A and B are shown apart, each in its own frame.
Chain A
Amino acid sequence: MSTSGDDHDHEHPRNELSAQAKRIYAIRDLLLEKGVISEKDIQDQIEYQEARSPANGAKLVARAWVDPAFKARLIADPKAACAELGIDATALNEFVVLENTKKVRHMVVCTLCSCYPRPILGRPPDWYKSFNYRQRSVNDPRGVMREFGLVLPDDVEVRVHDSTADMRYLVLPLRPKGTGGLSEVELARLVTRDSMIGVMDALPKLPET
Chain B
Amino acid sequence: MERGHHDIGGLPGAGPIDKSQHELSDWEILADAINQALGAKGVKRTDEMRRAREEMDSEAYREMNYYERWIASMEAILIEKGILKKDEIDKKVVEFEKKWGEP
Residues of A within 8 A of B (CB): 1, 3, 5-7, 9, 11-31, 34, 36-37, 41-46, 48-49, 109, 111-114, 123, 125-127, 129-140, 144, 147-148, 162
- Find out whether the CB atom of A23 lies under 8 angstroms from the CB atom of B25: no
- A sample of 25 inter-chain contacts (CB < 8 A) reads A1-B29, A5-B96, A6-B99, A9-B25, A12-B26, A13-B103, A14-B100, A17-B27, A21-B68, A26-B90, A26-B92, A34-B83, A36-B83, A37-B37, A37-B41, A126-B20, A130-B18, A132-B15, A132-B16, A132-B18, A135-B9, A135-B14, A138-B9, A139-B9, A148-B17
A148–B72 alpha-carbon span in the complex (Å): 32
CB-CB under 8 A for A23 and B20, given A30-B84, A45-B36, A135-B14: no
CB-CB under 8 A for A135 and B30, given A22-B93, A45-B37, A126-B18: no
- Find out whether the CB atom of A46 lies under 8 angstroms from the CB atom of B33: yes
Chain B residue total in the interface (Cβ 8 A) = 61
Q: Which residues of A contact B20 (CB under 8 A)?
A: 126-127
Residues of B21-62 at the interface with A, using a CB-CB cut-off of 8 Å, are 21-34, 36-38, 40-41, 43, 50, 53, 62
- Find out whether the CB atom of B83 lies under 8 angstroms from the CB atom of A125: no
Q: Does more than half of chain B's interface fall in helix, strand or loop, or is it mixed? A: helix
Q: Which residues of B contact A1 (CB under 8 A)?
A: 26, 29
Residues of B within 8 A of A (CB): 6-11, 13-34, 36-38, 40-41, 43, 50, 53, 62, 64, 66-68, 71-72, 74-75, 78, 83-84, 88-90, 92-93, 95-97, 99-103
CB-CB under 8 A for A111 and B38, given A14-B96, A30-B89: no
CB distance from A34 to the nearest CB of B (A): 7
CB distance from A198 to the nearest CB of B (A): 13
- Find out whether the CB atom of A11 lies under 8 angstroms from the CB atom of B103: no
- Find out whether the CB atom of A20 lies under 8 angstroms from the CB atom of B25: no
